[in-house]
């Protein structure tokens, strides 16, 4: 059988996953990327340090977990070794004063039970409230009513557990405050990470920049396997004739892997016999609400934090929820990355608040803090709210979408993007553009 000619529009992690998977399935792939950089919203940025030397930062900090099975497999496929590029640690949510939760590297569920039993700063009542609540979730099969928020889901938990565990986990995973976050999506994340098998809850912290973690190797792999790579090539027109036409070029099928707002704009202008369905999909996608993430990079001399990743006590005046010590992850000593999920504060005030938070919570009052760069992704993720109707993967015969926002069980994460890209590629069979149902685990 002749391979299909497939166009993948968008060179972020979802598009790269789709392109690699389709190429492995024997199809001829043309990958379009409008910008001059591969990787989308998870890539490297150049930065000049306080001493004038150069380094690479990221346009947003990403933390992987052991349950990201498809992402880790894709990295291995394109020649990246996760064992050397990621620092693997048992789940640790410790604050600068040493209080918080740390799971031992034991089999499930003994690691969770031991972590709760030894959590520092929690009373017996706090621990009992978490055990009761998680037991209730397990009896319910880690499912809840669609319109349940995370706050609703956690009724019965103590304030300490909410503030030091649930709220940091929720905002880091869903990038949406607990009172506005989907309880069902949060339960799925907990189930797959905490009870997904040995190592599923491990933190995987990148030792390198995000471009080196996957995009660069994926593009090199695609080039070596015959894919056509069109960097800096914006797709202006999408038409359905006898075949799908991308900028006037004919393809058997198209996978749209751009950001949701770009997909909505492109497909809202698409023409052809399926344009009613395509325009309806574009309207649904365009209606998604988005949350911002800010990353404030600070040079703090030769400071070394007690852990590569620390949780921070967040409040309206202390906006950062986490800080990463990039010096312990292959970067320059004293380079700290403060992560502000669901950020809504104006940049100048945000930077001032983060510097004050660093001095107060990290004990850096006498330390010179040099603000290096602040990256604000205003539409970093979709708002993962209860009962949200997300766009389906299938748009029309021969036209699919992939991305972390497409309908699926996970919030906007790298794993959701990769799984979506793989599922889109698998939906094309080798004999035509008939759409096949994606396997349940890639839904």
Backbone angles phi, psi at 307, to 5 degrees: -135, 155
Q: How far apart are CA 247 and CA 239, in angstroms?
A: 8
Q: Would the pLDDT of 209 be above 80?
A: yes
Instruction: Determine the angle formed by the axes of helices 69-77 and 414-426, rounding to 10 degrees.
Output: 70
Q: How far apart are CA 164 and CA 181, in angstroms?
A: 17
Pure H helices in 303-378 = 347-361
Q: How far apart are CA 85 and CA 24, in angstroms?
A: 24
Q: How far apart are CA 247 and CA 73, in angstroms?
A: 33
The pLDDT tens digits for 146-170 are 999 999 999 999 999 999 999 999 9
Query: How many beta carbons lie within 10 A of that of residue 3, not counting itself?
Result: 16
Backbone angles phi, psi at 309, to 5 degrees: -130, 130
Here the contacts of 185-188 (C-beta below 8 Å, separation 24 or greater) are 185/384, 185/409, 185/410, 185/411, 186/150, 186/153, 187/137, 187/142, 187/143, 187/144, 187/153, 188/142, 188/409, 188/410
What band does 432 get if pLDDT is binned at 50, 70 and 90?
very low
Pure H helices in 109-259 = 110-118, 124-139, 150-153, 159-161, 167-174, 183-194, 210-213, 215-224
- What CA–CA distances, in Å, run from 57 to 143, 293, 340, 353, 375? 38, 15, 16, 21, 10
Q: How far apart are the first and last CA of the chain?
A: 27
- Beta-carbon contacts of 157 under 8 Å, excluding residues fewer than 6 positions away, are 129, 130, 133, 166
Q: Would the pLDDT of 195 be above 90?
A: no
Backbone angles phi, psi at 87, to 5 degrees: -90, 115
The pLDDT tens digits for 299-355 are 999 999 999 999 999 999 999 999 999 999 999 999 999 999 999 999 999 999 999
Q: Residue range 52-62: average pLDDT? A: 92
Q: Would the pLDDT of 358 be above 60?
A: yes
% helix, strand, coil for the chain, step of 5 = 35, 25, 40
Prediction pTM value: 0.94
**pLDDT of amino acid 366:** 83
What band does 430 get if pLDDT is binned at 50, 70 and 90?
very low
The pLDDT tens digits for 405-424 are 999 999 999 999 999 999 99
Q: Would the pLDDT of 434 be above 60?
A: no
Nearest in space to 296 (alpha carbons), one of 348, 366, 331, 362 = 348
Residues pairing with 396 in the sheet: 399
**pLDDT of amino acid 441:** 37
Count Cα atoms within 13 angstroms, Cβ side, for 171: 26
Buried b (16+ CB within 10 A) or exposed e, 418-431: bbbbbbbbbbbeee
Q: Residue range 100-122: average pLDDT? A: 95
Q: What is the mean pLDDT of the chain?
A: 94
- Higher-pLDDT residue of 442, 15: 15
- Beta-carbon contacts of 184 under 8 Å, excluding residues fewer than 6 positions away, are 143, 144, 146, 148, 386
Domains by residue range for the chain, with CATH: 5-39+214-289+386-442 (3.50.50.60), 44-66+290-382 (3.30.70), 91-199 (no CATH)
Here the contacts of 124-132 (C-beta below 8 Å, separation 24 or greater) are 125/158, 126/158, 126/160, 126/161, 129/156, 129/157, 129/158, 129/161, 130/157, 130/158, 130/161, 130/165, 132/156
**pLDDT of amino acid 429:** 63
User: ∠ CA(218), CA(223), CA(227), 5° rounding?
Assistant: 100
Least confident of 161-165, 274-278, 359-363, 439-443: 439-443
């Amino acid at each position: 059988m002749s391979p299909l000619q497939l166009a993948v529009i968008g060179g972020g992690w979802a598009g790269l996953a789709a392109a690699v998977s389709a190429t492995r399935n024997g199809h001829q792939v043309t990958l379009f990327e409008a910008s001059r950089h591969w990787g989308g919203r998870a890539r490297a940025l150049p930065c000049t340090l306080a001493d004038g030397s150069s380094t690479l930062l990221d346009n947003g900090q990403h933390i992987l977990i052991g349950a990201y099975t498809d992402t880790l497999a894709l990295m291995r496929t394109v020649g990246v070794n996760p064992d050397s590029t990621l620092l693997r640690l048992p789940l640790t949510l410790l604050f600068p004063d040493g209080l918080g939760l740390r799971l031992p590297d034991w089999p499930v569920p003994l690691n969770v039970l031991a972590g709760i039993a030894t959590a520092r700063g929690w009373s017996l009542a706090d621990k009992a409230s978490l055990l009761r609540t998680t037991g209730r979730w397990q009896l319910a099969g880690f499912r809840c009513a669609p319109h349940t928020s995370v706050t609703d889901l956690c009724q019965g938990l103590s304030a300490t557990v909410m503030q030091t565990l649930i709220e940091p986990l929720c905002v880091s995973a869903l990038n949406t405050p607990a009172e506005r976050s989907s309880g069902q999506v949060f339960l799925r994340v907990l189930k797959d990470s905490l009870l997904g098998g040995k190592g599923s809850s491990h933190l995987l912290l990148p030792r390198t920049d995000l471009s080196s973690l996957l995009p660069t190797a994926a593009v090199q792999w695609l080039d070596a396997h015959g894919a056509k790579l069109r960097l800096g090539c914006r797709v202006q027109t999408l038409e359905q004739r006898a075949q799908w036409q991308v900028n006037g070029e004919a393809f058997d099928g198209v996978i749209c892997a751009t950001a949701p707002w770009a997909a909505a704009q492109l497909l809202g202008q698409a023409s052809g016999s399926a344009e009613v369905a395509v325009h309806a999909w574009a309207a649904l996608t365009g209606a998604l609400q988005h949350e911002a993430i800010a990353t404030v990079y600070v040079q703090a001399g030769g400071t070394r934090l007690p852990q590569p990743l620390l949780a921070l006590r967040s409040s309206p005046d202390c906006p950062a929820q986490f800080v990463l010590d990039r010096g312990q992850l292959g970067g320059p000593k004293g380079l700290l990355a403060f992560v502000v999920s669901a950020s809504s504060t104006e940049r100048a005030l945000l930077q001032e608040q983060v510097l004050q938070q660093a001095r107060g919570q990290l004990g850096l009052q006498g330390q010179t803090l040099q603000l290096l760069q602040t990256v604000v992704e205003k539409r970093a993720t979709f708002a993962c709210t209860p009962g949200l109707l997300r766009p389906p993967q299938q748009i029309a015969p021969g036209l699919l979408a992939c991305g972390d926002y497409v309908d699926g069980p996970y919030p906007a994460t790298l794993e959701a993007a990769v799984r979506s890209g793989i599922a889109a590629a698998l939906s094309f069979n080798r004999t035509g553009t008939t759409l096949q149902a994606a396997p349940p685990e890639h839904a």
